[in-house]
Structure 1
Amino acid sequence: MKKLIIASNNKNKIKEIKEILDGLNIDVISLKEAGIDIEVEETGDTFIENAYIKALEIFKLFKEDNYMVLADDSGLSVEALGGQPGIYSARFAGEHGNDKKNNEKLLNMMKDVENRKGKFICAMVLIIDENNTIKVQGEVEGVIGYEEKGIHGFGYDPLFCYPEYNMTFGEMEGNLKNNISHRRRALNELEKKIKEYFQGE
Protein backbone atom coordinates (compact mmCIF):
# COMPACT_ATOMS: atom_id res chain seq x y z
CA MET A 1 0.00 0.00 0.00
CA LYS A 2 1.29 3.44 -0.97
CA LYS A 3 1.77 5.87 1.90
CA LEU A 4 0.70 9.49 1.65
CA ILE A 5 1.47 12.30 4.07
CA ILE A 6 -0.83 15.31 4.21
CA ALA A 7 1.42 18.34 4.58
CA SER A 8 -0.85 20.20 6.96
CA ASN A 9 -1.41 20.85 10.65
CA ASN A 10 -5.00 21.93 10.10
CA LYS A 11 -6.99 19.14 11.78
CA ASN A 12 -10.21 20.12 9.99
CA LYS A 13 -8.61 19.92 6.54
CA ILE A 14 -6.91 16.63 7.43
CA LYS A 15 -10.20 15.13 8.60
CA GLU A 16 -11.97 16.18 5.38
CA ILE A 17 -9.19 14.88 3.11
CA LYS A 18 -9.02 11.55 4.95
CA GLU A 19 -12.80 11.14 4.71
CA ILE A 20 -12.82 11.98 1.00
CA LEU A 21 -9.88 9.66 0.18
CA ASP A 22 -11.34 6.82 2.24
CA GLY A 23 -11.69 3.78 0.00
CA LEU A 24 -8.57 4.34 -2.08
CA ASN A 25 -5.75 1.87 -1.49
CA ILE A 26 -3.61 4.57 0.13
CA ASP A 27 -2.46 4.81 3.73
CA VAL A 28 -3.10 8.48 4.58
CA ILE A 29 -1.34 10.02 7.57
CA SER A 30 -0.97 13.54 8.91
CA LEU A 31 2.25 15.36 9.79
CA LYS A 32 1.47 14.80 13.46
CA GLU A 33 1.04 11.05 12.90
CA ALA A 34 4.38 11.07 11.09
CA GLY A 35 5.99 12.75 14.11
CA ILE A 36 6.66 16.04 12.33
CA ASP A 37 5.95 19.43 13.89
CA ILE A 38 6.65 22.08 11.26
CA GLU A 39 4.92 25.16 9.84
CA VAL A 40 5.99 25.89 6.28
CA GLU A 41 5.97 29.58 5.39
CA GLU A 42 3.59 30.31 2.52
CA THR A 43 5.42 32.78 0.28
CA GLY A 44 3.62 32.13 -3.02
CA ASP A 45 1.29 34.48 -4.89
CA THR A 46 -1.31 31.82 -5.73
CA PHE A 47 -2.97 28.88 -4.03
CA ILE A 48 -1.09 26.47 -6.33
CA GLU A 49 2.27 28.05 -5.53
CA ASN A 50 1.65 27.83 -1.79
CA ALA A 51 0.51 24.22 -2.02
CA TYR A 52 3.66 23.32 -3.97
CA ILE A 53 5.94 25.11 -1.48
CA LYS A 54 4.40 23.14 1.39
CA ALA A 55 4.48 19.80 -0.44
CA LEU A 56 8.10 20.21 -1.48
CA GLU A 57 9.33 21.07 2.02
CA ILE A 58 7.72 17.97 3.49
CA PHE A 59 8.76 15.75 0.58
CA LYS A 60 12.41 16.63 1.22
CA LEU A 61 12.04 15.20 4.72
CA PHE A 62 10.58 11.89 3.55
CA LYS A 63 11.92 11.24 0.04
CA GLU A 64 14.12 8.36 1.30
CA ASP A 65 11.02 6.66 2.77
CA ASN A 66 9.09 6.44 -0.52
CA TYR A 67 6.22 8.59 0.76
CA MET A 68 3.98 10.62 -1.48
CA VAL A 69 3.20 14.09 -0.11
CA LEU A 70 -0.05 15.97 -0.58
CA ALA A 71 -0.44 19.65 0.26
CA ASP A 72 -3.38 21.91 -0.25
CA ASP A 73 -3.92 25.64 -0.05
CA SER A 74 -7.43 26.92 -0.04
CA GLY A 75 -9.46 29.98 0.68
CA LEU A 76 -12.34 32.23 -0.21
CA SER A 77 -12.43 34.61 -3.16
CA VAL A 78 -15.11 37.33 -3.12
CA GLU A 79 -15.93 38.95 -6.46
CA ALA A 80 -16.82 42.41 -5.11
CA LEU A 81 -13.59 42.53 -3.09
CA GLY A 82 -11.36 41.83 -6.09
CA GLY A 83 -10.72 38.26 -4.99
CA GLN A 84 -10.03 38.98 -1.33
CA PRO A 85 -9.38 37.41 1.10
CA GLY A 86 -7.77 34.95 -1.34
CA ILE A 87 -4.46 33.45 -0.25
CA TYR A 88 -4.72 35.45 2.98
CA SER A 89 -8.01 33.79 3.97
CA ALA A 90 -6.67 32.14 7.14
CA ARG A 91 -5.07 35.37 8.39
CA PHE A 92 -7.46 37.92 6.89
CA ALA A 93 -7.98 39.74 10.19
CA GLY A 94 -4.29 39.53 11.12
CA GLU A 95 -4.25 36.49 13.40
CA HIS A 96 -3.75 33.14 11.69
CA GLY A 97 -6.72 30.82 12.05
CA ASN A 98 -9.03 33.15 13.99
CA ASP A 99 -12.25 32.22 12.20
CA LYS A 100 -14.45 34.56 14.23
CA LYS A 101 -12.37 37.66 13.52
CA ASN A 102 -11.96 36.73 9.85
CA ASN A 103 -15.72 36.36 9.45
CA GLU A 104 -16.37 39.63 11.27
CA LYS A 105 -13.96 41.49 9.01
CA LEU A 106 -15.54 40.00 5.89
CA LEU A 107 -19.06 40.92 7.05
CA ASN A 108 -17.95 44.49 7.78
CA MET A 109 -16.36 44.84 4.34
CA MET A 110 -19.52 43.46 2.70
CA LYS A 111 -21.93 45.59 4.74
CA ASP A 112 -23.35 47.69 1.88
CA VAL A 113 -22.31 45.44 -1.00
CA GLU A 114 -25.03 44.08 -3.28
CA ASN A 115 -22.87 41.66 -5.27
CA ARG A 116 -22.45 38.76 -2.83
CA LYS A 117 -20.86 36.29 -5.27
CA GLY A 118 -17.93 34.32 -3.97
CA LYS A 119 -16.16 31.03 -4.45
CA PHE A 120 -14.10 28.66 -2.40
CA ILE A 121 -10.88 27.56 -4.13
CA CYS A 122 -8.76 24.55 -3.25
CA ALA A 123 -5.40 23.94 -4.91
CA MET A 124 -3.70 20.59 -4.35
CA VAL A 125 -0.22 19.41 -5.17
CA LEU A 126 0.81 15.77 -4.92
CA ILE A 127 4.50 14.96 -5.17
CA ILE A 128 4.78 11.29 -6.09
CA ASP A 129 8.55 11.28 -6.48
CA GLU A 130 11.32 13.61 -7.60
CA ASN A 131 10.20 13.45 -11.23
CA ASN A 132 6.43 13.36 -10.89
CA THR A 133 4.17 16.06 -9.47
CA ILE A 134 0.43 16.46 -9.93
CA LYS A 135 -1.26 19.87 -9.57
CA VAL A 136 -5.04 20.36 -9.50
CA GLN A 137 -7.55 22.99 -8.45
CA GLY A 138 -11.22 22.77 -7.46
CA GLU A 139 -13.75 25.56 -7.06
CA VAL A 140 -17.31 25.87 -5.76
CA GLU A 141 -19.40 28.98 -6.30
CA GLY A 142 -21.77 30.48 -3.79
CA VAL A 143 -23.06 33.61 -2.11
CA ILE A 144 -21.75 35.44 0.95
CA GLY A 145 -24.44 35.65 3.61
CA TYR A 146 -25.31 38.59 5.87
CA GLU A 147 -24.77 36.64 9.08
CA GLU A 148 -23.19 33.41 10.25
CA LYS A 149 -25.41 30.34 10.06
CA GLY A 150 -24.67 26.82 11.22
CA ILE A 151 -22.38 25.09 13.68
CA HIS A 152 -20.52 22.76 11.32
CA GLY A 153 -17.36 23.19 9.28
CA PHE A 154 -14.75 25.85 9.89
CA GLY A 155 -13.36 29.05 8.45
CA TYR A 156 -15.88 30.95 6.34
CA ASP A 157 -18.31 28.01 6.14
CA PRO A 158 -21.05 29.74 8.20
CA LEU A 159 -21.06 32.67 5.73
CA PHE A 160 -20.80 30.70 2.48
CA CYS A 161 -24.25 29.88 1.14
CA TYR A 162 -24.58 27.16 -1.51
CA PRO A 163 -27.65 28.30 -3.49
CA GLU A 164 -28.60 24.86 -4.83
CA TYR A 165 -29.29 23.65 -1.28
CA ASN A 166 -30.14 27.07 0.19
CA MET A 167 -27.77 26.30 3.07
CA THR A 168 -24.44 27.55 4.25
CA PHE A 169 -21.55 25.12 4.46
CA GLY A 170 -21.82 25.70 8.21
CA GLU A 171 -25.35 24.27 8.18
CA MET A 172 -24.30 21.12 6.32
CA GLU A 173 -23.32 17.85 7.92
CA GLY A 174 -19.79 16.76 6.97
CA ASN A 175 -20.83 14.14 4.40
CA LEU A 176 -23.05 16.58 2.52
CA LYS A 177 -20.39 19.29 2.38
CA ASN A 178 -17.70 16.78 1.43
CA ASN A 179 -19.71 15.72 -1.62
CA ILE A 180 -19.85 19.20 -3.15
CA SER A 181 -16.95 21.17 -1.68
CA HIS A 182 -13.99 22.74 -3.46
CA ARG A 183 -11.80 20.19 -1.69
CA ARG A 184 -13.93 17.33 -3.05
CA ARG A 185 -13.67 18.74 -6.58
CA ALA A 186 -9.91 19.10 -6.31
CA LEU A 187 -9.60 15.58 -4.93
CA ASN A 188 -11.80 14.20 -7.73
CA GLU A 189 -9.39 15.69 -10.26
CA LEU A 190 -6.45 14.39 -8.25
CA GLU A 191 -7.91 10.89 -8.09
CA LYS A 192 -8.29 10.84 -11.90
CA LYS A 193 -4.70 11.92 -12.41
CA ILE A 194 -3.39 9.44 -9.80
CA LYS A 195 -5.17 6.59 -11.61
CA GLU A 196 -3.80 7.77 -14.97
CA TYR A 197 -0.30 7.91 -13.51
CA PHE A 198 -0.32 4.46 -11.92
CA GLN A 199 -1.98 2.84 -14.95
CA GLY A 200 0.77 4.31 -17.12
CA GLU A 201 3.60 2.94 -15.01
Structure 2
Amino acid sequence: MLKVLLASRNAGKLREFAELLPELHFIPWPAEAPELPETGAFFQDNALQKAEGARAWWREHGAEPVDGVLADDSGLCVDALWGGPGVLSARFAPDLLAYQDKNRRLLAMIPDGADRAARFVCVLAYAPLEGEACTVSGSVDGSLAFDHRGEGGFGYDPIFIPDGQDRTFGELPSETKHTLSHRARACAALRARLGLD
Protein backbone atom coordinates (compact mmCIF):
# COMPACT_ATOMS: atom_id res chain seq x y z
CA MET A 1 0.00 0.00 0.00
CA LEU A 2 1.35 3.41 -0.98
CA LYS A 3 1.85 5.82 1.91
CA VAL A 4 0.84 9.29 0.74
CA LEU A 5 1.13 12.69 2.39
CA LEU A 6 -2.07 14.68 1.81
CA ALA A 7 -1.16 18.33 1.35
CA SER A 8 -4.26 19.56 3.16
CA ARG A 9 -5.56 20.01 6.71
CA ASN A 10 -9.17 19.92 5.48
CA ALA A 11 -10.81 17.12 7.45
CA GLY A 12 -13.59 16.75 4.86
CA LYS A 13 -11.09 16.21 2.07
CA LEU A 14 -9.10 13.71 4.13
CA ARG A 15 -12.27 11.72 4.83
CA GLU A 16 -13.31 11.73 1.17
CA PHE A 17 -9.87 10.74 -0.11
CA ALA A 18 -9.71 7.86 2.39
CA GLU A 19 -13.11 6.65 1.10
CA LEU A 20 -12.36 7.23 -2.60
CA LEU A 21 -8.80 5.85 -2.58
CA PRO A 22 -8.80 3.02 -0.03
CA GLU A 23 -5.67 1.62 -1.73
CA LEU A 24 -3.66 4.52 -0.27
CA HIS A 25 -2.66 5.17 3.33
CA PHE A 26 -2.95 8.92 3.94
CA ILE A 27 -0.91 11.06 6.31
CA PRO A 28 -2.47 14.52 6.85
CA TRP A 29 -0.45 17.71 6.52
CA PRO A 30 0.88 18.33 10.04
CA ALA A 31 -0.21 21.26 12.19
CA GLU A 32 3.36 22.55 12.51
CA ALA A 33 3.93 22.62 8.73
CA PRO A 34 3.61 25.93 6.85
CA GLU A 35 0.58 27.02 4.86
CA LEU A 36 0.98 25.94 1.25
CA PRO A 37 0.89 28.47 -1.60
CA GLU A 38 -2.21 28.89 -3.77
CA THR A 39 -1.28 31.77 -6.05
CA GLY A 40 -1.97 30.20 -9.45
CA ALA A 41 -4.52 31.40 -11.98
CA PHE A 42 -5.81 27.87 -12.60
CA PHE A 43 -6.71 24.83 -10.47
CA GLN A 44 -3.81 22.88 -12.00
CA ASP A 45 -1.30 25.58 -11.03
CA ASN A 46 -2.46 25.55 -7.42
CA ALA A 47 -2.51 21.76 -7.14
CA LEU A 48 1.05 21.53 -8.47
CA GLN A 49 2.24 24.37 -6.21
CA LYS A 50 0.86 22.61 -3.16
CA ALA A 51 2.14 19.14 -4.09
CA GLU A 52 5.65 20.34 -4.90
CA GLY A 53 5.79 22.69 -1.90
CA ALA A 54 4.66 19.93 0.45
CA ARG A 55 7.16 17.47 -1.03
CA ALA A 56 10.05 19.92 -0.57
CA TRP A 57 9.07 20.61 3.05
CA TRP A 58 8.56 16.91 3.84
CA ARG A 59 11.99 15.99 2.48
CA GLU A 60 13.51 18.33 5.09
CA HIS A 61 11.12 17.89 8.01
CA GLY A 62 9.00 14.78 7.45
CA ALA A 63 8.52 12.55 10.47
CA GLU A 64 8.24 9.32 8.45
CA PRO A 65 8.94 8.08 4.92
CA VAL A 66 6.22 8.49 2.31
CA ASP A 67 5.94 7.33 -1.29
CA GLY A 68 4.49 10.58 -2.59
CA VAL A 69 2.40 13.68 -1.98
CA LEU A 70 -1.18 14.31 -3.10
CA ALA A 71 -2.61 17.81 -3.40
CA ASP A 72 -6.06 18.89 -4.49
CA ASP A 73 -7.32 22.19 -5.79
CA SER A 74 -11.02 22.32 -6.40
CA GLY A 75 -13.80 24.81 -6.52
CA LEU A 76 -17.25 25.85 -7.60
CA CYS A 77 -17.59 27.67 -10.93
CA VAL A 78 -20.88 29.55 -11.31
CA ASP A 79 -21.98 30.78 -14.74
CA ALA A 80 -23.86 33.80 -13.37
CA LEU A 81 -20.67 34.87 -11.53
CA TRP A 82 -18.48 34.62 -14.64
CA GLY A 83 -17.01 31.34 -13.41
CA GLY A 84 -16.47 32.53 -9.86
CA PRO A 85 -15.58 31.85 -7.17
CA GLY A 86 -13.54 29.25 -9.13
CA VAL A 87 -9.91 29.08 -8.00
CA LEU A 88 -10.79 31.50 -5.19
CA SER A 89 -13.44 29.13 -3.74
CA ALA A 90 -11.42 28.34 -0.61
CA ARG A 91 -10.85 32.06 0.01
CA PHE A 92 -14.38 33.29 -0.75
CA ALA A 93 -15.94 35.48 1.98
CA PRO A 94 -12.97 35.28 4.38
CA ASP A 95 -14.88 37.36 6.95
CA LEU A 96 -17.34 34.47 7.42
CA LEU A 97 -16.20 31.36 9.30
CA ALA A 98 -19.17 29.02 8.78
CA TYR A 99 -19.69 27.52 5.33
CA GLN A 100 -23.44 27.85 5.79
CA ASP A 101 -22.95 31.64 5.92
CA LYS A 102 -20.54 31.62 2.96
CA ASN A 103 -23.04 29.58 0.95
CA ARG A 104 -25.87 31.97 1.70
CA ARG A 105 -23.74 34.96 0.73
CA LEU A 106 -22.81 33.31 -2.58
CA LEU A 107 -26.45 32.51 -3.32
CA ALA A 108 -27.41 36.12 -2.56
CA MET A 109 -24.99 37.25 -5.29
CA ILE A 110 -26.95 35.43 -8.03
CA PRO A 111 -29.20 37.95 -9.80
CA ASP A 112 -32.93 37.19 -9.84
CA GLY A 113 -33.83 35.13 -12.89
CA ALA A 114 -30.20 34.39 -13.74
CA ASP A 115 -29.04 31.02 -15.06
CA ARG A 116 -28.11 28.91 -12.01
CA ALA A 117 -25.80 26.54 -13.91
CA ALA A 118 -22.59 25.65 -12.07
CA ARG A 119 -19.90 23.01 -12.03
CA PHE A 120 -17.54 21.60 -9.48
CA VAL A 121 -13.95 21.12 -10.69
CA CYS A 122 -11.17 19.13 -9.02
CA VAL A 123 -7.54 18.87 -10.08
CA LEU A 124 -5.26 16.45 -8.25
CA ALA A 125 -1.48 16.67 -8.36
CA TYR A 126 0.53 13.62 -7.33
CA ALA A 127 4.24 14.12 -6.70
CA PRO A 128 6.27 10.97 -6.06
CA LEU A 129 9.08 11.57 -3.57
CA GLU A 130 11.46 11.34 -6.53
CA GLY A 131 10.43 12.23 -10.06
CA GLU A 132 7.99 14.45 -11.88
CA ALA A 133 4.55 15.37 -10.58
CA CYS A 134 1.46 14.58 -12.66
CA THR A 135 -2.06 16.02 -12.64
CA VAL A 136 -5.51 14.58 -13.32
CA SER A 137 -8.89 16.26 -13.17
CA GLY A 138 -12.61 15.65 -12.78
CA SER A 139 -15.71 17.81 -12.99
CA VAL A 140 -19.46 17.56 -12.52
CA ASP A 141 -22.13 19.86 -13.96
CA GLY A 142 -25.20 20.94 -12.05
CA SER A 143 -27.06 23.95 -10.73
CA LEU A 144 -27.34 26.02 -7.58
CA ALA A 145 -30.09 25.44 -5.05
CA PHE A 146 -31.98 28.45 -3.69
CA ASP A 147 -30.80 27.82 -0.13
CA HIS A 148 -28.29 25.79 1.90
CA ARG A 149 -29.78 22.25 1.99
CA GLY A 150 -28.42 19.26 3.89
CA GLU A 151 -25.59 18.73 6.35
CA GLY A 152 -23.62 16.07 4.47
CA GLY A 153 -20.36 16.67 2.68
CA PHE A 154 -18.58 19.98 3.28
CA GLY A 155 -17.94 23.36 1.73
CA TYR A 156 -20.33 24.19 -1.09
CA ASP A 157 -21.92 20.72 -1.19
CA PRO A 158 -25.24 21.88 0.38
CA ILE A 159 -25.94 24.38 -2.42
CA PHE A 160 -24.93 22.27 -5.44
CA ILE A 161 -27.43 19.99 -7.21
CA PRO A 162 -25.67 17.66 -9.68
CA ASP A 163 -27.35 17.12 -13.05
CA GLY A 164 -29.87 14.27 -12.92
CA GLN A 165 -30.58 14.73 -9.19
CA ASP A 166 -33.05 16.83 -7.23
CA ARG A 167 -30.99 16.85 -4.03
CA THR A 168 -27.80 18.71 -3.20
CA PHE A 169 -24.50 16.98 -2.45
CA GLY A 170 -25.26 17.96 1.16
CA GLU A 171 -28.46 15.87 1.04
CA LEU A 172 -27.29 12.89 -1.01
CA PRO A 173 -25.78 9.87 0.78
CA SER A 174 -22.00 9.78 0.48
CA GLU A 175 -22.18 6.53 -1.54
CA THR A 176 -24.23 8.37 -4.19
CA LYS A 177 -22.02 11.44 -4.10
CA HIS A 178 -18.95 9.23 -4.60
CA THR A 179 -20.36 7.99 -7.93
CA LEU A 180 -20.96 11.52 -9.23
CA SER A 181 -18.60 14.04 -7.72
CA HIS A 182 -15.73 15.94 -9.28
CA ARG A 183 -13.38 14.52 -6.65
CA ALA A 184 -14.57 10.95 -7.32
CA ARG A 185 -13.91 11.40 -11.04
CA ALA A 186 -10.47 12.88 -10.42
CA CYS A 187 -9.65 10.00 -8.03
CA ALA A 188 -10.70 7.46 -10.66
CA ALA A 189 -8.33 9.14 -13.12
CA LEU A 190 -5.53 9.13 -10.52
CA ARG A 191 -6.14 5.46 -9.74
CA ALA A 192 -5.72 4.64 -13.45
CA ARG A 193 -2.64 6.89 -13.72
CA LEU A 194 -0.94 5.17 -10.76
CA GLY A 195 -1.95 1.69 -11.95
CA LEU A 196 -4.07 1.01 -8.86
CA ASP A 197 -7.02 -0.50 -10.80
**Fold-level match, TM-score > 0.5?**
yes
The answer on whether the counterparts of 2:122 and 2:139 sit within 8 Å (CA) in structure 1 is yes
More displaced 10-residue stretch of structure 1: 181-190 or 60-69: 60-69
* Deviations 1:51-102, CA, capped at 9 Å, x for gaps: 1111111111334735300000111001121100011112211347641232
What is residue 26 of structure 2 aligned with on the other side?
28
What is residue 159 of structure 1 aligned with on the other side?
159
Matches within 5 A, 1:71-150: 71-95=71-95, 98-150=98-150
Paired with 1:82 and 1:194, the residues of 2 have a C-alpha distance of 34
The answer on whether the counterparts of 1:121 and 1:138 sit within 8 Å (CA) in structure 2 is yes
Structure 2: runs of 5+ lacking an equivalent? none
Return the letter of the residue paired with 1:28.
F
Kindly state the Cα deviation for residue 158 of structure 1 after the two structures are TM-superposed: 1.1
More displaced 10-residue stretch of structure 1: 107-116 or 80-89: 107-116
Paired with 1:142 and 1:39, the residues of 2 have a C-alpha distance of 31
The percent of aligned pairs where both chains have the same amino acid is 37
**TM-score (ref. length: structure 1):** 0.88
Paired with 2:97 and 2:176, the residues of 1 have a C-alpha distance of 24
* Deviations 1:107-161, CA, capped at 9 Å, x for gaps: 1111414311000001100001442221011100001111111111111111101
* Deviations 1:155-195, CA, capped at 9 Å, x for gaps: 11111012312110010122221221100000111111111
SS at match of 1:155: coil
The answer on whether the counterparts of 1:134 and 1:190 sit within 8 Å (CA) in structure 2 is no
Cα separation, partners in 2 of 1:95 and 1:46, compared to 1, 3 Å: farther
Number of aligned residue pairs: give it. Answer: 193
**TM-score (ref. length: structure 2):** 0.89
More displaced 10-residue stretch of structure 1: 95-104 or 50-59: 95-104
Over the residues paired in the alignment, what is the CA RMSD in angstroms? 2.0
Larger helix proportion, structure 1 or 2? 1
The answer on whether the counterparts of 1:51 and 1:73 sit within 8 Å (CA) in structure 2 is yes
Structure 1: runs of 5+ lacking an equivalent? none
